[in-house]
Amino acid sequence: GSTSRFQICCIGAGYVGGPTMAIIAKKCPTIDVTVVDISQRRIDAWNSEADLPIYEPGLKEAVMNTRGKNLFFSTDIDGAIEKAHMIFVAVNTPTKKDGLGAGRAADLTYWELAARRIAKVAKSPKIIVEKSTVPIKTAEAILTVLNASGKTRFQVLSNPEFLAEGTAVRDLESPDRILIGGNLKDEDGTAAVEKLVDIYSHWVPRERIITTNVWSSELSKLVANFFLAQRVSSINAVSALCESSGADVDEVSTAVGLDSRIGSKFLKASVGFGGSCFQKDILNLVYLSESMGLKDIAEYFHWVVKMNDLQKERFVSRIIHGLFNTVTGKRIAILGFAFKKDTGDTRESAAISVCQRLVDERAHLDIYDPKVEESQIWQDISTASKMDRLELEKLIHISSSPYGAAQGSHALVVCTEWDEFQDLDFEKILSIMEKPAFIFDGRNILNHEYLRKLGFVVYAIGKPL
Ligand code: NAD
Ligand code: UGA
């Protein structure tokens, strides 16, 4: 593109950087967008004619229509930084594995490396947009790193992303709100905020674009994920009560959710929430609270994650108890491995914990997922399990169809709510399973009454037997 056009660079071509930039490019044809990454493999995949590195409904069309016109994917990070007027940083910010705050605090290594790169390369003023989810006060720290070079002026804005996987394109095209945090007390800060508001105004109604100070914006992202995850953990806590009392958790959540103050979304009881962010962001809040001396507040936040761990464990216990207190040597079909439907992403998927625990008990697993790569399943279970790959290969098989997985199994375990599981031929499945044939529905998506009539023994989350 010509240098007179407004130039955006995005550092990090992942689940957030890729789709977000594809939609900006689609909605703003007068802006050039270059997405860069250190991973050559990822960039090659974004540039390929075959499969993009991530699967999202509608994403491929958006990329194909803009790629090579005003959307570019490259590993030339320095070149893209140099010519950019605005730089989004959408690198990963996982939970720290070692050192201070290990297991809770966010690991900002990638963020800081990106910032140092910008400081090194930039010769002209730039607006830096914090897209990654980060602890409160990160923008401030990053500004210090950037300004230390003294070469040029920077503005740092916070612009957290609220998209959910599986609906990324829809969420980006019609977001509930766009949140922009900046230094509104300062003229340059306000101008930078306005510049970003301009970009979103290409397609987002102005009243949905809200501006705040930087800290409110950073904190709001963590708090939004806390509230969402809290609802899942709360209804999952209720599901335990239902299993012991004869109440039906789906009936309870419908009844409760009809109160307009509560609302019906995010009240689906499940085997537990997964995904790359809920746990990480809540642990981040726990760490922030603790480091500010707010122990009780930290404990309150922490219970949302602890409840989720309990829920996964409760589900595994139900499987083992249901199968006459032993699964050793039994064949179990695992339906779904992704952390939710319509994505191939498995990060923190409840299926990983369920499989690891069942393998610990020496069950034989046959796993089917319509979107997750076989190599990903092996990698996730190998990482979670104490067993080595050779041992695991004796216990795990991966099937390319749900019927293949069900063949000869004692139980079907639903871990992901893929729509296609509702339409399976259960008469056929019953005929190829060992008897009694068990179903453990970790997502409450199957027609339990019908399955019981066919002859299955059905366990579901938060339902009487
Ligand atoms: P991701 O791992 O899919 O992508 C991050 C990319 O950044 C990787 O491709 C990595 O190679 C690249 N990278 C890392 N350091 C780099 C560097 N110094 N220079 C260039 N490239 C570098 O991560 P993601 O899921 O896209 O998440 C990114 C951020 O967005 C995280 O902070 C996350 O919390 C947040 N977020 C994620 C989601 C989601 O649904 N996944 C939604 C909202 C917010
Ligand atoms: C979540 C948030 O919804 C996004 O707004 C946020 O931007 C994103 O995290 C992030 O920061 O990364 P995501 O993790 O992609 O998005 O998916 P969700 O739809 O939120 O589902 C998370 C998990 O909760 C899934 O495992 C899902 O199956 C589970 N869930 C969700 C339930 O068990 N019950 C529900 O009622 C809803």
For residue range 415-465, what is the model confidence (pLDDT) as tens digits? 999 999 999 999 999 999 999 999 999 999 999 999 999 999 999 999 988
Does the pLDDT value for residue 1 go beyond 50?
no
DSSP three-state, residue 338? coil
- 366 vs 388: CA distance, rounded Å: 18
Q: Could you tell me if the CB of 275 is within 6 A of ligand 2?
A: yes
Average pLDDT, whole number, for the chain?
Answer: 96
- The pLDDT assigned to 151 comes to 85
Which atom of ligand 2 is closest in space to residue 339's alpha carbon? 26
Does the pLDDT value for residue 290 go beyond 70?
yes
Is residue 339 part of an annotated ligand binding site? yes
Q: H-helix or E-strand containing 274? A: none
Give the torsion sign (CA, 387, 390, 394, 400): positive
Ligand nearest to the CA of 165: 2
- The pLDDT assigned to 3 comes to 56
Does the pLDDT value for residue 287 go beyond 70?
yes
Q: Could you tell me if the CB of 266 is within 6 A of ligand 2?
A: yes
The model's pTM is 0.96
Ligand 1 centroid – CA 10 distance (Å): 11
Mean predicted confidence (pLDDT) in 134-138:
90
Is residue 91 part of an annotated ligand binding site? yes
**Strand-pair partners of 126:** 154
Q: What percent of the chain has pLDDT over 90?
A: 92
pLDDT per position as a tens digit, 395-413: 999 999 999 999 999 999 9
Beta strands in 110-149 (DSSP E): 126-130
Ligand 1 centroid – CA 76 distance (Å): 17
Does the pLDDT value for residue 47 go beyond 90?
yes
Which atom of ligand 2 is closest in space to residue 166's alpha carbon? 15
Q: Whose Cα sits closest to atom 34 in ligand 2?
A: 268
Ligand 1 centroid – CA 396 distance (Å): 30
Is residue 164 part of an annotated ligand binding site? yes
Which atom of ligand 2 is closest in space to residue 340's alpha carbon? 28
Q: Could you tell me if the CB of 132 is within 6 A of ligand 2?
A: no
Letter for the amino acid at 199?
A: I
Does the pLDDT value for residue 73 go beyond 60?
yes
Which of 69, 111, 76, 74 has its CA nearest to residue 90? 111
- The pLDDT assigned to 133 comes to 94
Q: Could you tell me if the CB of 336 is within 6 A of ligand 2?
A: no
**ipTM metric:** 0.98
Task: Quickly list DSSP for 200-245.
Answer: HHTTS-GGGEEEE-HHHHHHHHHHHHHHHHHHHHHHHHHHHHHHHH
Does the pLDDT value for residue 334 go beyond 90?
yes
In this prediction, residue 238 has a pLDDT band, given cuts at 50, 70 and 90, of very high
pLDDT per position as a tens digit, 216-231: 999 999 999 999 999 9
pLDDT per position as a tens digit, 377-398: 999 999 999 999 999 999 999 9
Ligand 1 centroid – CA 13 distance (Å): 7
Buried b (16+ CB within 10 A) or exposed e, 320-349: bebbeeebeebbbbbbbbbbbbbbbbbbbb
Does the pLDDT value for residue 51 go beyond 90?
no
Does the pLDDT value for residue 2 go beyond 60?
no
Mean predicted confidence (pLDDT) in 368-385:
97
Is residue 280 part of an annotated ligand binding site? yes
Query: Mind telling me the catalytic residues?
Result: 277
Pick 353 or 105 by higher pLDDT: 353
